[in-house]
Structure 1
Amino acid sequence: MILYPAIDLKDGNAVRLVHGDMDRSTVFNDDPAAQALEFVNAGCTWLHLVDLNGAFAGTPVNAAPVEAILKACKVPAQLGGGIRDMATIERWLDKGLARVILGTVAVENPDLVREAARAFPNQVAVGIDARNGKVATKGWATETDVMVTDLAKSFEDAGVAAIIYTDILRDGAMGGPNIDATAALARAVSIPVIASGGVSSLADLTALKATNVIEGAISGRALYDGAIDLKQALAALQD
């Protein structure tokens, strides 16, 4: 199982939010590229980046720190937030991003996801953010009536590289991930599923791995707070 250290970008800084609330952010590093290098030097094989401002604005906002991370780090990175048209997708992939994450448009313009997945095989992921089993969009500010599993199944034949499933009520709260819901989603679709939200201990990671159906896990606050030692976690997940 792959561990993706998370770098959430707000106003140019690496931050973490609680429950996706932009007013409840903690700045962990004012140099996101240095933070990314720290993760890479510890041995991570992927990076997970989120343009928080972009998710609300609907267009990239934190392009400069993302580009600095891509320039500084040699491991692949995936990015979500504010990516809602083909031109933006192409621009990011041209800049060296390994994978774009499409969230809001997966609900509002699913044809774009299919078009992008065809044009860029293995470089397009779908981000499904949920509150009580229902999909939320626009930086988690808008709750829809779309059920998580229904949305995921709708992309079964689209060729997307992964589904990144975030339980909003767990995110940044250090209360543990929603293992049951994530595993159920992974069993419901053939697309690889990456868990996000609430991963706060080595025990959480090993529990996710033990399901044998979850391909990866994203962790942010626990790595910054020291609740998870990245080197130790990577070693445990390789066993």
Structure 2
Amino acid sequence: MILFPAIDLKDGACVRLKLGLMDQATVFNTDPGAQAASFAAAGAEWIHVVDLNGAFAGRPVNGAAVERILASVSVPVQLGGGIRDMDTIEMWLGKGVSRVILGTVALRNPELVKDACRRFPGRVAVGIDAKGGKVAVEGWAETSNLTVLELALKFEDAGVAAIIYTDIDRDGVLTGPNLAATAALARAISTPVIASGGVSSLYDLKALKAEADSGIAGVISGRAIYDGRIDVAEAIRLLKD
């Protein structure tokens, strides 16, 4: 199982939100490149990056910060937030992003996701963010009537590299991941699932690892790392052991 240390970008800085609220942001580092380099130095195999401003604006906003991250590390970077069209997908993949994460557009325009998967095999993930079990979009500002599983099933045969499942009600509050819902989703689809939201300790990572057979292939952690509750190197060893 892979650990994805998270860098969420707001106004050029590394922040963590509470419950997905932009006015509940805590700044942890004003140098995203240095933060990424520290994760890579600790042994991270991937880095997870989100352009939070971009998710609300519907277009890239923190491009300069993303490029600093790409210039600072040699490990692969997956990026989401404000990626809503093929030109933006091509732009980021051309700049060195290893995998783009499509969220809002996966709900609004699933055919674009499928087309991107055909054009860029293995380099497109779908981010499904849930609030009360329903898919949330537009930077988590809107909730749809579609369930997580209903959306995930739309891409079963599309060649999506991974489904990144975030429980917004758990995000940034360190209450533990929604293990039951994540494992149930992973068992219901063939696409690998990456868990996100609520990871607070090594105990949570052990619990997720125990469900690896369900199809959970990775876990994203942010606030717990920044707060010192999870040591990146130790977490990687635990998930690899």
- Shorter-chain TM-score bucket reads over 0.9
Give 1:90's aligned residue: 90
Partners of 1:158 and 1:231 lie apart in 2 by 34
Partner of 2:195: 195
Structure 1: how far apart are the matches of 2:28 and 2:37?
Answer: 14
| CA shift digits 1:17-76 (9 cap, x unpaired) | 000000000000000100010111001000000000000000000000101100110000
**Equivalent residue number for residue 18 of structure 2:** 18
State the partner residue of 1:234.
Answer: 236
Pairing of 1:1-239 with structure 2 (within 5 A)? 1-212=1-212, 213=214, 214-239=216-241
What is the Cα-based RMSD across aligned positions, in Å? 0.4
- State the Cα deviation string for residues 159-212 of structure 1 (Å, max 9, x = none): 010000000000000100000000000000000000000011001011001012
Query: The residue matched to 1:160 in structure 2 has which SS?
Result: coil
Q: Distance in 1 between matches of 2:194 and 2:72?
A: 25
Structure 1 distance, partners of 2:192, 2:234, is 24
Separation (CA, whole Å) in 2 of partners of 1:121 and 1:217: 22
Offset at 1:132?
A: 1.1
Unpaired segments ≥5 residues, structure 2? none
**Alpha-carbon distance in 1 for matches of 2:72, 2:32:** 10
TM-score, normalisation: structure 2: 0.99
SS in 1 for 2:16: strand
Write the distance in 2 (CA, Å) between the matches of 1:148 and 1:37: 33
Q: Secondary structure at the match of 2:92?
A: helix
Work out the number of aligned pairs and report it. 239
Q: Which amino acid aligns with 1:103?
A: G
2: CA distance, partners of 1:160 / 1:90: 16
- Distance in 2 of aligned mates of 1:199 and 1:46: 17
Whole-angstrom CA distance in 2 between matches of 1:187 and 1:124: 21
Separation (CA, whole Å) in 2 of partners of 1:157 and 1:233: 32
State the distance in 1 between where 2:210 and 2:77 align: 25
Q: Which amino acid aligns with 1:128?
A: I
Separation in 1, partners of 2:200, 2:33: 23
User: Residues of 2 paired with 1:4 and 1:41: CA distance?
Assistant: 14
Q: Unaligned stretches of 5+ in structure 1?
A: none
The alignment-based identity, stated in percent, is 67
Question: Letter of the aligned partner of 1:123 in structure 2?
Answer: R
